[in-house]
Amino acid sequence: MALTSFFLLFGTIGLPELLIILLILLLIFGASRLPQLGGALGRTVKSFKEGMKEAEKPSLKCPQCGYETKEEADFCQKCGKKLK
Ligand SMILES: [Zn+2]
């Protein structure tokens, strides 16, 4: 039975249906592997969030030498000119 027809059979998905799906997933992956799966998902989400954070950071550009740094620094890491 295809997963879509499974959903059609149950109509709207409620908590009992979700529990059945969870049980099926548990049987497929095995209970011992679920924490691993969750851990991998957690790491993916974490690295994604860190990537977003990194992109949000404004880069500081040195007016003297043009060196760009993403880190919070009071002085240019290349020539030592005060940035703030
Ligand atoms: Zn500089």
- pLDDT tens digit string along 35-83? 777 788 788 888 888 887 767 667 788 999 999 877 778 889 899 999 8
How far is 71 from 68, CA to CA, in rounded Å? 9
Distance (angstroms) between ligand 1 centre and the Cα of 84 equals 12
pTM check: above 0.75 = no
Q: Is the pLDDT of residue 23 over 70?
A: yes
CA of 79 to the centre of ligand 1 (A): 4
Rounded CA separation 69/37 (Å): 36
DSSP code, position 75: B
Per-residue confidence (pLDDT) for residue 51, from 0 to 100: 81
Instruction: State residue 9's pLDDT score.
Output: 61
Say yes or no to pLDDT of 21 above 70.
Answer: yes
